[in-house]
Structure 1
């Protein structure tokens, strides 16, 4: 009986250790990169139910088109551009996803989510019922006081956005608020992202080479 208890206890300890390793930030970053690199398409990645990142990635199901692996994984030059331009980072599918993953670790992913929502809203047609409904949804989710994902806006911007909503919900109604949040991310979280292990590893990685894939696999094992 004592042997059985000892074995059970050991198995439990191993399981706890495995769970802790799986949850480590380094392990999550490495797995995220591996998932993107090996996925045949962006849509396949989103739909992979076995992935621990399904929920994290699903927010962009309707925001980003399906893409090939070569389009997803950045070139060395593209990664360098991210370092020079925040706009380049946001406008790259892989870069935006990686940045959002970083923000999620800082519990501030609502900022980039709001930015993405604004980008999509600009494409909607003025005067349509769907446009008006979407405007109210975005406002109530990100801008209204005590909203579920309230972003950090000054009172003047919040008031101006509310007035724009009440005057007809035009596609550019969130431009001011979006600009404020983009400035906030650029001055704060973007700078920390550029110093993060996740970004530096990617910057120093031999992009799209067998050796770099081996490095990522080794990182997963060692995490």
Structure 2
């Protein structure tokens, strides 16, 4: 889920306090975004060929069930703990031009699993270069104190070096992006797909 569509290039060097709101975009751009996520969600949830709904039910490991999708509305933590839920949320964030938040959060989750100090140093610097430093390719919005604390510990990082920043980004997603996702057309479409009511699995 780390592709970089051409339409996002002009946004790569910007840090957002929150995602761009749909009302900030032209009708043409919104139409393009909807087509984009519909194609991606169709690829994510649809069988490799146009088999029947019965075939899809026999391959339940390939896509989430209606119960799975329903549970995603319980909390952001529940959503992110599910493989397809996280993938769908990534698609939604891309449509709002703020996928750097989930990518940073995911990078921090991976970072915390490292046991080698050499790997910690390498990954800490990689995360810093990609998300933290000024004008980073996918710079996230952090206050000066949090950013400065990370910078100072790069020479001797620990598994908690990015914890404060990760919590801030998680809170931002939880309070802003996540509620919009749950009330979005994309989530509604996901529910219909899971129940076998969407054209995405009937075509």
Does the 8 Å CA contact 1:124/1:171 hold for their aligned counterparts? yes
1:33-182 matched pairs, under 5 angstroms: 33-38=41-46, 70-127=60-117, 129-166=118-155, 168-182=156-170
Aligned to 2:34: 26
TM-score, structure 2 normalization:
0.72
Name the SS for the 2:158 alignment partner: coil
Structure scoring higher RCO (CA < 8 A, sep ≥ 6) equals 2
CA offset at residue 102 of structure 1? 1.1
CA offset at residue 139 of structure 1? 0.8
Name the SS for the 2:154 alignment partner: helix
Measured against aligned partners, the alpha-carbon deviations of 1:130-152 in whole angstroms (never above 9, x if no partner) come to: 32111101011101122111101
Does the 8 Å CA contact 2:45/2:62 hold for their aligned counterparts? yes
Please, which runs of 5 or more residues in structure 2 have no aligned partner? 1-27, 49-58
Q: Equivalents in 1 of 2:106, 2:62: separation in Å?
A: 17
The structure having more radius of gyration, on CA atoms, is 1
Please, which runs of 5 or more residues in structure 1 have no aligned partner? 1-19, 41-68
Does the 8 Å CA contact 1:72/1:94 hold for their aligned counterparts? no
Q: Equivalents in 1 of 2:88, 2:194: separation in Å?
A: 18
Post-superposition, which runs of at least 4 consecutive aligned residues in structure 1 deviate over 4 A? none
Does the 8 Å CA contact 1:72/1:93 hold for their aligned counterparts? no
Q: Equivalents in 1 of 2:113, 2:68: separation in Å?
A: 26
Q: 1:164 to 1:70 in 2, by over 3 A?
A: farther
Measured against aligned partners, the alpha-carbon deviations of 1:8-50 in whole angstroms (never above 9, x if no partner) come to: xxxxxxxxxxxx9xx733332332222123457xxxxxxxxxx
Q: Equivalents in 2 of 1:150, 1:72: separation in Å?
A: 33
> What is the number of equivalent residue pairs in this alignment?
164
Measured against aligned partners, the alpha-carbon deviations of 1:115-164 in whole angstroms (never above 9, x if no partner) come to: 1101111111141x232111101011101122111101111211222233
Aligned to 1:44: none
Question: When you count helix as a share of all residues, which structure comes out higher?
Answer: 1
